[in-house]
């Protein structure tokens, strides 16, 4: 394991969400944009972030919101931002609307772009032009993906348009009426290249269902079969876990 990886097993999922929100709040004050993620793991994180922002003195809150710049990891190909099943809609509900962010402050790939490969290129250029990511928030896919970097995936995989795996369709089916066949076949995702180029990485993992894939990601040699395992190469990786997620780790 990378010597700099910090593994934090907190008391429960609520404590994990609070700790992640605290770090996000700190990163919003930084000079680089924040990298954001979607998924059920992030819902309590964003709720905690909203609460923390609301509790700030009005001027500090206004400063942070005025300076907000973020790039989400990924989006389904074929879903417009107005589609309630899109990640853009999820982010609008969780953060952009309640925080009254201006258009362009919270960015995602455009799932409705007519040429998804070109859209992936455009998005990679936009992230680079903004100076790259400061703090990158990540969840963990049940098959070891981060963003939508599906296995097999090398550490040199760039931002791109790719096919989603059946495992991911199954994991994300709930947002599509429970039907894996209704989940879009393709997505645009930041690659391992952009993720590993972030100043800091914050991997958030909760629930017993992720325990075994987290153990493999952290304890097996990094490999393309498990994209999250490349994170161990990063010099500033923090993993926030609740006890069920950490239950299979050989933590000292």
Residues 55-74 that bind ligand GLP (CB under 6 A): 73-74
The yes-or-no answer on residue 234 being catalytic is no
* Distance, CA of 56 to CA of 43 (rounded, Å): 20
Q: Which of the ranges 10-18, 141-149, 221-229, 238-246 carries the binding residues for ligand GLP, by CB under 6 A? A: 141-149
Nearest to 37 by CA among 158, 203, 174: 203
Q: Which residue is nearest to ligand GLP (CB)?
A: 139
CB of 56 to ligand GLP, least distance (A): 27
Closer to ligand GLP by CB, 61 or 186: give it: 186
Q: From the CB of 55, what's the least distance to ligand GLP, in Å?
A: 25
DSSP-derived 3-state class of residue 86: coil
Q: Which one is catalytic: 18, 72, 119, 145?
A: 145
Taking the C-alpha atoms of residue 77 and residue 60, their distance in angstroms, rounded to an integer, is 37
Should residue 172 be labelled a site residue for ligand GLP when binding is judged by CB under 6 A?
A: yes
Q: What is the DSSP string of 157-181?
A: --SEEEEPPHHHHHHTGGGGTT-GG
Number of residues that bind ligand GLP (CB under 6 A): 13
Q: Draw the binding track, 121-140, toward ligand GLP (x: CB under 6 A; -: no contact).
A: ------------------x-
Which residues inside 22-51 make contact with ligand GLP, applying CB under 6 A? 37-41
Among 70, 86, 136, 168, binds ligand GLP (CB under 6 A): 168
Smaller CB distance to ligand GLP: residue 28 or 73?
A: 73
Q: Please state whether beta strands 237-241 and 200-205 pair in parallel, antiparallel, or not at all (unpaired).
A: parallel
Using rule CB under 6 A, residue 229 touches ligand GLP: no
Report the distance separating Cα 212 and Cα 48, nearest Å. 27
63 flagged as catalytic? no
Q: Which two tokens stand for residue 92?
A: 């609008």
Q: Tokens 């709720």 sit at which residue?
A: 47
Task: Indicate which single residue of 141, 144, 191, 227 sits in contact with ligand GLP (rule: CB under 6 A).
Answer: 141
Check binding of 149 to ligand GLP (CB under 6 A). Answer: no
For the chain, the maximum distance between any two Cα atoms, rounded to a whole number of angstroms, is 50
CA 237 to chain centre: 14
For 9-30, b/e burial (b = at least 16 CB within 10 A) is bbeebeebbbbbbebbbebbee
Told to judge if 143 belongs to the known catalytic residues of this protein, a careful annotator would answer yes
Does residue 74 carry a catalytic annotation? Answer: yes
Whether 237 and 172 have beta carbons less than 8 Å apart is answered as: no
- Spot the catalytic one: 18, 150, 194, 242: 150
Positions marked active-site = 74, 143, 145, 150
Q: Which residues bind ligand GLP (CB under 6 A)?
A: 37-41, 73-74, 139, 141, 147-148, 168, 172
């Amino acid at each position: 394991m990378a010597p700099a990886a910090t593994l934090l097993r907190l008391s429960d999922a609520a404590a994990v969400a609070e700790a992640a929100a605290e770090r996000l709040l700190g990163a919003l004050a930084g000079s680089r944009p924040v990298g954001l993620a979607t998924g059920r793991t992030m819902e309590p994180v964003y709720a905690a972030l909203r609460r923390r922002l609301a509790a700030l003195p009005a001027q500090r809150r206004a400063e942070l919101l005025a300076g907000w710049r973020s790039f989400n990891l990924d989006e389904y190909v074929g879903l417009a931002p107005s589609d309630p099943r899109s990640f853009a809609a999820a982010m609008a509900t969780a953060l952009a609307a309640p925080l009254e962010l201006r258009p362009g402050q919270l960015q995602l790939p455009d799932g409705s772009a007519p040429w998804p490969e070109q859209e992936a290129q455009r998005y990679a250029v936009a992230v680079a032009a903004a100076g790259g990511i400061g703090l990158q928030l990540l969840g963990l896919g049940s098959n070891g993906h981060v963003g939508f970097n599906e296995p097999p995936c090398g550490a040199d995989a760039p931002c791109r348009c790719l096919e989603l795996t059946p495992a991911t369709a199954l994991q994300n089916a709930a947002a599509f009426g429970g039907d894996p066949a209704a989940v879009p076949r393709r997505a645009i995702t930041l690659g391992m290249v952009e993720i590993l180029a972030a100043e800091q990485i914050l991997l958030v993992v909760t629930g017993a269902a992720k325990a075994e894939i987290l153990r493999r990601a952290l304890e097996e040699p990094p490999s393309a079969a498990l994209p999250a395992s490349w994170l161990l190469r990063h010099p500033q990786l923090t993993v926030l876990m609740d006890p069920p997620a950490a239950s299979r780790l050989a933590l000292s």
